Amino acid sequence: MGAGAFRKIEEYIHLIKGDIVEIGSEQERTTPIDGSTRYFAEIAKENNFNFYSVDFEQKAYERAKFLIGDNAFQMLGEDFLDRYEKSRDKIAFAYLDNFDFEYPQLIGSRLIYEQKKTYSGYGLELSNENSKMAHLIQTKKVVRHAAKTCIIVFDDTYINKNGDYDGKGGTAVPYLIKSGWHIIDPHPVLPYVMCSNKEIDK
């Protein structure tokens, strides 16, 4: 729902020295315009970067596998990051758009019902608390492997009416801020947040 937030990488491509990691592969219903996995695959090929896409769900994994081959992984993002080998380059750009979040306006909808059913089939419980926790755990692991300049993009993340970060990165973004990371390129409307371990002047 971040309206192509992943495309912000184009504005920072000159700073990237390391791997691109996507946790939450594009879905089967995704159009070519807003398909993140296909997009990152093209960016990586054009710029000679390693790109890894991770998703626990079978169809999303199969789609990523079709697009990028052996660099697609079917597992939880946190498990992939545990296996991220030290011999690989550091992570320079991470796009975290996995473990779905229930927007208030969608609670009780058919979409949420189907998502809960899918998650249950993998032994997972879909809830906003679990979504935030998954993104926080993954964020801490990305930080551990962060390149000298590292950018993390949280899709479906926004500031709520109380002025607090909410959505998928609702817990992870405050954690990064407390750890000395910076909010970059904030958008007043679209629900995504970008953070970097360096102050960036494009």
Q: What DSSP designation does 47 have? A: H
pLDDT bin (cut points 50, 70, 90) of residue 30 is low
- 93 pLDDT exceeds 90? yes
pTM above 0.85, yes or no: yes
Q: Which residue has the tokens 């208030």?
A: 104
DSSP state of 193: E
Instruction: Tell me what pLDDT residue 175 has.
Output: 98
User: Residue 1: pLDDT band by 50, 70, 90 thresholds?
Assistant: very low
- CA gap 100, 112 in Å, rounded: 9
The confidence score (pLDDT) of residue 86 equals 61
pLDDT of residue 87: 56
Select the more confidently predicted residue: 89 or 16.
16
**Cα–Cα distance, 82 to 79 (Å, whole number):** 5
Write out the two tokens for 32: 């070519």
CA atoms within 13 A on the CB side of 99: 26
Helix 58-68 to helix 36-47 angle (10° resolution) is 30
Among 98, 72, 79, CA closest to 155: 98
Q: Are 20 and 93 in contact (CB under 8 A)?
A: yes
CATH, domain 5-196, list 3.40.50.150, 3.30.420.10, 3.40.50.1000, 3.40.50.300: 3.40.50.150
Segments making up each domain of the chain, as ranges: 5-196
Average pLDDT value for the chain: 90
| pLDDT, tens digit, 9 for 90 and up, residues 124-169 | 999 999 999 999 999 999 999 999 999 999 999 999 999 999 999 9
CA-CA distance, 40 to 63, in Å (whole number)?
A: 13
Instruction: Find, among 96, 200, 199, the residue nearest to 139 by Cα.
Output: 96
- Give the pLDDT band (50/70/90) at residue 35: confident
> Considering the chain, what percentage of its residues have pLDDT values greater than 70?
92
Taking only the tens place, the pLDDT of each residue in 54-82 is: 999 999 999 999 999 999 999 999 999 99
> Which of these, 64, 61, 51, 63, lies nearest to 9 by C-alpha position?
51
What is the token pair recorded at 40? Answer: 């990152």
